[in-house]
Structure 1
Amino acid sequence: MRRQAKLIVVVAFAGFASIYLVAGSPLAPAVFGVQVVFAGRRSWWLVALQAALAYASVLVYGSSVGILGFVGGALLLTPLWPLALAVVASAALLGPADPVISMVLVSLVVYGLTRMIDRIEEVNAARLSLAVTAAAEERLRIAAELSAGLGGALATIADGARTGTPDVETARRSLAEARAAAAGYRAMSLAPEITTAKAMLTAAGVTVNVRVGHGEPLGPAGALLAAVLREAVTEIVRRRTATTCLIETLTEGDTVRLRVSNDGARTAGDENLGDLPAQVEAAGGTLTVELAGDASMTVEAVLPTTRPPARPARDSALSTALLAAVLVGFSVKALLMVGSLWPAALLAVIVFMQLRSVEGRHPVALSIMAVLTFAPIPLFGQAWLGVAGFLAGPILLAFSWPVALPLVAGIVAVVAAAGVLLGMPVPLTVNYAISTLVTGVVVYGLLRLAQLARELRESRDSLARAAVVEERLRAARDLHDLLGHTLAAILLKCELARRLDAERARKELDDVLTMTERAMEDLRTVSGERGELSLAAEAESARSLLAAAGIEVELDLGHGRLGSEVDTTLGIVLREAVTNVLRHSSAGRCTITTSARDGTVRLVVRNDGVRATLGRRGSAGIGNLTTRLAALDGRLDVRREHDWFELAATVPTQAWVPA
């Protein structure tokens, strides 16, 4: 994008220089070269050199004073911009009014194009820093939320453990809050929920077709749409009658639409969306359920999107103002050549059409401008030939290059032919033809650079929003995989301690104290502080926790020494696997084995007592683990065999990790 912007500016500057070169100034290419260098490197000696070359071109070679516009434009870009007025005054002393107007217009265009390049460079340079800042702000916000809630709850649980009082209620509430927070952070983006829904439906034997047409993040609308999708998919899985399902999202103006269709409906009242219709209505949207004659059901939710406050369109304002100045300046030149004011009405229409369609060129506007460009030539002659350049610019913007270039070539050819028919000298005819092309490039450049700056700014904002979404998803993963596991273990220990005698309860409460310390470390990790786990330590902790739950544990560790990233990731995988054993099974036996071979390490957790549930494969935990392992070029495999469930994680021992 930056290369395209610079190319536009170089072409425009070269066009100006070519006009003066054709007019007989051999120094025009040198003035052009200095201007190109100055656009990227602002030095006083370049301004001085350019001034010497431009004035030499005027005084020695008799060039038009319009070439001094390069000097005036360069000065406008420096703190000593008032000196540009002195250049205008010198041009007025050296030449007639028409070239002086051209000099002013060239100065404005040089200033405008260079400032647009500067703006594009500034926006591009701010892209990464803005994304980093946005992620850091989101991390601080999440840390403040979690510290105020879960941090205080962990302190309360630890105090109860020290005094011999297991605080079961606080532990249960903390676990529920952590799960709710993880779901909330995750649901702010609809994309992960779509992935999970697809996995759940596929596991249930439903053929899924997903069409994503929305942009992330959606903010509160994303959370609510994720809830609608979750409930709709849960109903499809619960009924077990669907064979196909379509999940579709679409952005329409300021609204986003979610549509979930399946072929397994039975009756019009077969849906169960709870209070979601009321929530959607309260958010300014609609939630409808339709049953078709072919027993297909469609759940459709439409919600307004939350958009960031509009930024001032400084880039468009600058380009529009400069274009207006160029149009008015040219109109004044044309009126001076005609020697009458009555054509001003036609010129006013052209100016109006140009400015009105700055954000997009329409066939009607182009047609009107084409008529006003060529029809008055027989009446006004040479004075009207310059108008053609203001038709070439919109055409370059309106059409693709294969279409626009032949059209612009045709306009230039018409100007040249008109010059011949009007009996103009050949050099003057060539000058008008080149000027038509240059004017078109300048108009195109002013508006296209504004578009590029706007596109780059939108790209920067999208990158920042994506960084915020990624930070929320990271926090959700860590909440679920790290803190969720530890809080579940704390709750189990607290409940166990409450049922045991004082001596045995004391041992369990000592474990609670140890776990609350680990939970505080996990909380800091969730808040963005880097934390490392040990697979061996997690395996010992898993054995203790499973044994406390009455599960026979077989532990066989043969993985050896691992890198910190691999060790931490497999530790997290083991935590989630143990949590699943406790939550999703009535296991009586569990085996945990690790092995290292051929540059890969493999962790396998296998347990019996699997319940008849369909949600496990598509759960958030499994999705989180898949994402973590994929980042290390690893994989996760799950397998069910009768009442046994096996989770296996394989990852290279020296995994490449992006910085």
Structure 2
Amino acid sequence: MRERAEETDIAPRTARAVTIAVLAALCAVYALAALPEAGPVALVAGVFAAQLVYVLPRLSRLRGPALLAVQAALGYALVLGTGASVSVLGFTAGSLLLTGAWPLAAPVLVSAAALQALRTHDALLTLDVTITAILGTLVVYGLTRLTERVDDVHATRMALAVAAVTEERLRIAAELNDRVGRSLDAVHRELAPAREGAGASRTGEEPDPGRTAEVVREALAGVRAAAADYRSLSLAPDAATARALLAAAGIEAEVRIGHDEPLGAAGGLLALVLRDAVGAIVSAGGARHCLIETSERAGLVRLRVVSDGVRAAGDGAAGLDDLPGRLARVGGEFRAGLRPDGRFEVEAAVPARPAPPEPDRDSAYALSLGLLAAVVAGFSAKGLIFTPVPLLPLAAVCLLAVGALQMAQARGRHRGALAVQAALTYLPLPALGAAWVSAPSFLAGSLLLALPAVLSWPLVAAAMAGTGALSVAYGLPPDVVANRTLSTLVTGLVIYGLVRLAQLVRELRAARDRLARAAVVQERLRTARDLHDLLGHSLAAILLKCELARRLAGRDPARARAELAEVAEMAERARADMRSVYGDQRAMTLAGEAESVRSVLAAAGCRAEITLAHGPLPERAETVLATVLREAVTNILRHSSATRCAVTTASGAGRVVLTVENDGVRAPAAPPGSGLGNLTTRLAALDGRLETRVAAGVFHLTAAVPVPVTESAVPAAS
């Protein structure tokens, strides 16, 4: 993503560079014709400088009626005062089209035609120059508008990502309120008497811990299902976990991601395939290298896991038996077995997520193609004006073919079409003669579009030299030779600029959409982490308390009611946890979480020894450490038979360290789940670290985050 972001950052500069280069080339034609007179060259430089105001954002404050008046004065001064071609007025007309004064562009072009008619009294030459002025107008307008579109798309990329995340949060809020909120509301109704402190409802009924536990189980199942759904949109967490698991087993892992996210609803199956395949490879032993690769084509997202060291197909396929049927039910594919080279391969595919509709996505490209068609038609018309009548049919057919190939070139790098266009450029020369000398102009544009710069620019230079040589050979005047030679480059740049800017808009749109999709994926992954770490823990603790109250109800009703009253408070916190999942992260404190942990562990029959000796912490760091503590205790309750748990914090050397130790580790230890992976991600965001180990039947978890020394120097109360 970093490389793609850098690519989009240079796109506006590239667009402006292309536009400025084309405008400079157009002005160079007029400057060349004015040499060696310094005055006309200075006026041309003024025309160019004024046009830059519409291209460079930092000069935008200069735009307005005064600038238009200056441009008009410069243009008419060139035409009337120095005898320059009236086509230079195309700059003024193009600028008018870019502003609210666009209706005045037509009178400017009409005046150009009238001045040319008065100057030469030659209808064909007047038509030729008028077409040139119109083409200049379209080029100035089109390149500037396309540059603006590049800037617009670039400027909105972050806004689109933020909007996508906001919309996703609203969707997540609706989903969680539907899947989990109803269950929490039911818990509140069940615990209303305990919450009111009455001990009994208005109907005289005591809260039923068993019924409340069933409701909590339903809510917890909804949380886990929602977290799994959100995680299924991305393979990134599972790929990272797989890499870590392979590294822990001494297996070199190579990961190649070639699909777009978010995945569709079936994406969770690919994550399951990845987990099971890597687990089978680690269990089989003997592997030294494992490749994890994804790709997307033909409407399918495909996952391949390839490893060496597996001696038989059965060794690597353990636990994969039910996957073919599950993938087939969603329209996917599955295959596992030894390859001819002896490596074990698992391959699975699921349908890709359908692309959203893209209304009005090609408006800039349509503008580019429309302007390109007008430019091609205009230059073709100019070429036909002075073609002898007997040669008109042949010239028209050749120009039509070249124009069609030019438009095809605009849609992609078709080098076969480029070869055909080159043949059509030079083969008709013996028959058409001087009337066909300007044909390489189209070829220059195609070369710049179809070939890399290291090849295209030497070929364009060769085309220019060929145009000059042919013009001399046909006995054209020196000024015409120079004009046609330079026009080969200018026309090529115009064609290249129109198409390249449209391509930049398309590329930026694609990059902007990738950024928005990535933001949505990250938001869903964050939601999955928070569901697991916050709401999942809260509901698990409530369930534990409900079970304790149910056991106490017969022999100690007062204690049972007290436990249910605490459950009511925990349910309130669970509602706040749910709101924080789809809103801003709720700040947590280590002291507050430690008290909750003490209560929960006591309910589970585990002795808690808590010593907090850290100093004041930044809110974000303390929230993350409190989350680590919460997840650590959740794992103790789910994965051990602990009778003792020690929680300590310490400050020093610019960091705060949280340590959680518990006995009762079940052997063999379960592999790290998504909880510890979530904590690693949270800590990494603060440049922190998480370490876990088992020694002598005791599980040790250590989390450390860096904090300013001034904030960690004063110990907190235990």
Asked whether the two chains share a fold, i.e. TM above 0.5, the reply is: yes
SS in 2 for 1:325: helix
Amino acid corresponding to residue 665 of structure 2 in structure 1? V
**Offset of 1:485 from its aligned partner?**
0.9
Matched, 1:480 2:523: no
Q: Which amino acid aligns with 1:15?
A: A
What is the match of residue 302 of structure 1?
Answer: 349
Superposition map of 1:257-656 within 5 A: 257-262=302-307, 263-264=309-310, 266=312, 270-273=317-320, 276-292=323-339, 297-306=344-353, 307-311=355-359, 312-340=361-389, 341-342=392-393, 343-500=395-552, 501-617=556-672, 619-654=673-708
Aligned counterpart, 2:100: 79
The answer (yes or no) to whether the contact 1:566–1:655 under 8 Å persists in 2 is no
Structure 2 CA distance for aligned equivalents of residues 294 and 582 of structure 1 = 46
Which of 19, 29, 32 is matched with 1:22 structurally?
32
Once the two structures are overlaid, the 10-residue window that deviates more, 37-46 or 326-335, is: 37-46
What is the SS of the residue equivalent to 2:701? strand
Aligned to 1:214: 259
| Whole-Å separation in 2 of the counterparts to 1:537 and 1:210 | 41
1:632·1:655 contact (CA, 8 Å) conserved in 2?
no
User: Is the contact made by 1:200 and 1:614 (CA closer than 8 Å) also made in structure 2?
Assistant: no
Alpha-carbon deviation of 1:48?
1.7
Residue-by-residue CA offset, 1:134-178 (whole Å, 9 max, x unaligned): 000101111111122222212222332334321111111211221
Aligned counterpart, 2:164: 134
Deviates further, 163-172 or 49-58: 163-172
Percent same amino acid at aligned positions? 50
> In structure 2, what is the equivalent of residue 154 of structure 1?
184
How much does 1:275 deviate? 5.0
Deviates more, 1:155-164 or 1:520-529: 155-164
SS in 2 for 1:633: coil
CA distance in 2, matches of 1:183, 1:418: 71
Residue in 2 that maps onto 1:230: 275
Structure 2 letter corresponding to 1:79? G
Alignment check: 8 A CA contact 1:366 1:394 kept? yes
Displacement of 1:93: 0.9
Contact 1:158-1:512 within 8 A present in 2 as well: no
Confirm whether residue 36 of structure 1 aligns to residue 36 of structure 2.
no
Deviation string, structure 1 residues 256-283 (Cα, Å, up to 9, x no partner): 2101234446455954446543342233
After the TM superposition, which of the residue ranges 218-227 and 528-537 deviates more from structure 2? Answer: 218-227
Which digits, 9 at most, give the CA deviation of each residue in 1:88-146, with x for residues without a partner?
Answer: 21122111111001001111111110110111111111111100000001011111111
Q: Is the 8 A contact 2:232 2:263 kept in 1?
A: no
Asked whether the equivalents of residues 364 and 502 of structure 2 are also in contact (C-alpha less than 8 Å), the reply is: yes
Q: Higher mean Cα deviation, 409-418 or 144-153?
A: 144-153
Asked if residue 63 in structure 1 is aligned to residue 84 in structure 2, the reply is yes
Residues 316-339 of structure 1 show CA distances to partners (whole Å, capped at 9, x for unaligned) of: 211111111111111111111113
Alpha-carbon spacing, 1:346–1:294, altered in 2? closer, same or farther (3 Å): closer
- Structure 1 residue 145 corresponds to structure 2 residue 175: yes
Q: Which one of 149, 160, 167 corresponds to residue 119 of structure 1? A: 149
**Cα distance, 1:211–1:124 mapped onto 2, change above 3 Å:** closer
SS at match of 1:188: coil
Which amino acid in 2 is paired with 1:389? S
Q: CA deviation at 1:375?
A: 2.9
Taking a change above 3 Å as real, the CA distance of residues 221 and 54 of structure 1, as seen in their structure-2 partners, is farther
Moved over 6 A (4+): none
SS at match of 1:338: coil
Q: Is the 8 A contact 2:232 2:266 kept in 1?
A: no
SS in 2 for 1:60: helix
Find the partner of 2:20 among 2, 7, 10: 10
Question: Bigger CA drift: 30-39 or 271-280?
Answer: 271-280
- Count of residues in Structure 1 that have an aligned counterpart in Structure 2: 655
Cα distance in 2 between the residues matched to 1:313 and 1:283: 33
1:227 to partner: Cα distance = 2.5
1:251 paired residue number: 296
Quote the offset at 1:467 in angstroms: 0.8
Q: Does the aligned pair in 1 maintain the 2:313–2:337 contact within 8 Å?
A: no
Distance, in Å, in 2 between the alignment partners of 1:206 and 1:587 is: 33
Counterpart AA for 1:346: C
Checking the alignment, whether the CA contact within 8 Å between 1:39 and 1:114 is kept in structure 2 is yes
When normalised by structure 2's length, the TM-score is 0.87
Residues in 1 aligned to 2:283 and 2:601: alpha-carbon distance in whole angstroms: 30
1:452-495 deviation digits (Å, cap 9, x = unpaired)? 11111111111110110111011011111111111110111111
Deviation per CA, 1:358-396: give whole Å up to 9, x if none: 122323211222122223334433332222111111111
Q: Is the 8 A contact 1:203 1:614 kept in 2?
A: no
| Cα drift, residue 225 of structure 1 | 1.4
Shift of 1:195: 1.3
Give me the whole-angstrom Cα distance separating, in 2, the residues matched to 1:614 and 1:70: 76
SS of the residue corresponding to residue 386 of structure 1 reads coil
Distance 1:591-1:131 versus aligned 2 partners, 3 A rule: same
Kept in 1, the 8 Å contact 2:656–2:706? The answer is yes
The 3-state SS of whatever aligns with 2:486 is helix
Give the Cα–Cα distance (whole angstroms) in 1 for the partners of residues 151 and 267 of structure 2.
33
Amino acid aligned to 1:11: A
- Contact residue 294 and residue 302 of structure 2 kept, 8 A: yes
Q: Which residue of structure 2 aligns with residue 190 of structure 1?
A: 235
**Structure 2 stretches lacking a partner, 5+ long:** 1-10, 35-39, 117-125, 195-205, 711-718
Instruction: Kindly provide the amino acid, as one letter, of the partner of residue 520 in structure 1.
Output: R
Shift of 1:236: 4.2
* Aligned residues of 1:482 and 1:572 also touching (Cα < 8 A): yes
CA distance in 2, matches of 1:472, 1:613: 32
Counterpart Cα distance in 1 of 2:83 and 2:429 = 30
Distance across 1 between alignment mates of 2:339 and 2:376: 59
Residue of structure 1 equivalent to 2:203:
none
Superposition CA RMSD, Å: 2.1
Kindly provide the CA deviation profile for residues 570-614 of structure 1, in whole angstroms up to 9, marking residues without a partner as x.
100000010111111111211100011122111000111111245
Deviation at 1:505, TM superposition (A): 1.0
Residues 432, 603 of structure 1: CA spacing in aligned structure 2 closer, same or farther, 3 A cutoff? same
Q: Distance in 2 between matches of 1:120 and 1:297?
A: 47
Change (3 A) 1:654 1:144: farther
Cα deviation code 1:48-73 (max 9, x no counterpart)? 21111111211111111111111111
